[in-house]
Amino acid sequence: MDTTSPPADSDQEWILRLVSTAGKRLFWRLDGSLEHAITVAPSEYYEPDAVMEPYFIPASDDLDAAPRWHAVSQESLLTPPVSSITVRIQCIDNWERVWADQHRECWDAIHDSDRRRLGPRPGDETLDAPMYVLECCLQERPWSRDTKLEVASAGAFVTIHEYVSAVHPWLMGMRNTLLDVLGKTVCQPPWPAETKLAVLYLGPGPLRIGHEDRWAYWHKRPPGPGNLVAYPSGEERARKVIERAKARTAAMVRAQEEAEAVIRGLDPAKWYQNRY
Ligand SMILES: [Zn+2]
């Protein structure tokens, strides 16, 4: 989700919004109806022995109780609360970036105009619009920009129930697409249809979808001050070597892109800036 938007009653201040403690308690599977998809952890952190609570509580004749949702359903999803949210999905966004990376060095294709088309984003009719690779190697660019969902509150702020009621069917409707891009972004086949998908992380930033086994990792309790371990010197050295290698790779990629832009008769600085 876009958690950096100004609030509806904007005072021009940009506020970082975090998922509330109640929101972090959701264990949200992409499986079946909303009534059965979500359970609620006792706290925001994963505990191996925790007893999960049902999000949907059916009617009970014994207690003469009507069906109802867990108490967290009425809490704010974000803190501070917000009246509307734009939801995005990380793996969908990642796939467009990976696709652009995969086709950045299609040097042969550059000389074959049937196989590589450049142009502005479809629908962008502004003058001097940014240029993109629209098609390469007979593949159309997988635009992620329009894969988003606006969730607006009917009340003062977006509650957890308003959010999951809107987002769950949206995600279920694109389950196959999610399985496909989760594989493709790591150059693998689509994940199998029976994969147990879950929302691992609700923000800040786009929703992270993955295998439900990873939920515990994303809800790990952070180490207390007494548990922090200093980097061993060997690890620190290795980390710096990796950082330097990454910097060299980035410089090489940029040099290749600028060369490509020159070949295409484009302004290298603008090409680089607009490569996604
Ligand atoms: Zn290509």
Residue 266 lies in a domain: yes
pLDDT at 275: 44
Of the ranges 4-13, 31-40, 170-179, 257-266, which one carries the lowest mean pLDDT score?
4-13
Q: For residue 135, which amino acid is it?
A: E
Calpha distance 145→89 (Å, rounded)? 10
Handedness of CA 11, 16, 21, 23 (dihedral sign): positive
Calpha distance 246→104 (Å, rounded)? 17
Range of the domain at 151: 18-89+147-221
Query: Ligand 1 centroid vs 100 CA: distance in angstroms?
Result: 9
pLDDT at 63: 74
DSSP 276: -
Query: Ligand 1 centroid vs 210 CA: distance in angstroms?
Result: 28
State whether 51 and 74 are in the same domain. yes
Write the Ramachandran bin of 187: left for phi over 0, alpha for psi from -120 to 50, otherwise beta: left
pLDDT at 266: 59
State whether 26 and 82 are in the same domain. yes
Calpha distance 86→17 (Å, rounded)? 12
Domain count, the chain: 2
Query: Residue 194 pLDDT > 90, yes or no?
Result: yes
Query: Ligand 1 centroid vs 93 CA: distance in angstroms?
Result: 19
Query: pLDDT of 13-27, one tens digit each?
Result: 678 889 999 999 999
State whether 252 and 208 are in the same domain. no
With 0-12 / 13-18 / 19 or more C-beta atoms within 10 angstroms meaning exposed / middle / buried, residue 272 is middle
State whether 268 and 166 are in the same domain. no
Query: Ligand 1 centroid vs 213 CA: distance in angstroms?
Result: 34
Task: Identify any residues that bridge with 149 across adjacent strands, giving them in sequence order.
Answer: 87
Whether the upstream peptide bond of residue 204 has omega within 30° of 0, thus cis, is yes
Calculate the average pLDDT of the chain: 84
Residue 102 lies in a domain: no
- Cα dihedral 264→268→274→276 (10° resolution): 70
State whether 213 and 254 are in the same domain. no
Type and span of the H or E element at 248: helix 233-263
State whether 71 and 151 are in the same domain. yes
State whether 161 and 251 are in the same domain. no
Residue 30 lies in a domain: yes
Percent of the chain exceeding pLDDT 90 equals 59
Cβ atoms within 10 A of the Cβ of 141, count? 18
Query: pLDDT of 66-85, one tens digit each?
Result: 899 999 999 999 999 999 99
pLDDT at 64: 76
State whether 211 and 155 are in the same domain. yes
Calpha distance 182→177 (Å, rounded)? 8
Question: For residue 225, what are the contacts with CB-CB under 8 A and spacing of at least 6?
Answer: none
Query: pLDDT of 224-270, one tens digit each?
Result: 775 555 545 556 666 676 677 667 666 666 666 666 666 555 555 55
State whether 163 and 56 are in the same domain. yes
Query: Ligand 1 centroid vs 133 CA: distance in angstroms?
Result: 9
Instruction: Compare 211 and 257 and report the one with higher pLDDT.
Output: 211
Query: Ligand 1 centroid vs 185 CA: distance in angstroms?
Result: 15
Query: Ligand 1 centroid vs 257 CA: distance in angstroms?
Result: 14
Query: Residue 161 pLDDT > 90, yes or no?
Result: yes
State whether 217 and 239 are in the same domain. no
Percent of the chain exceeding pLDDT 70 equals 75
Highest mean pLDDT range out of 62-71, 107-116, 136-145, 241-250? Answer: 136-145
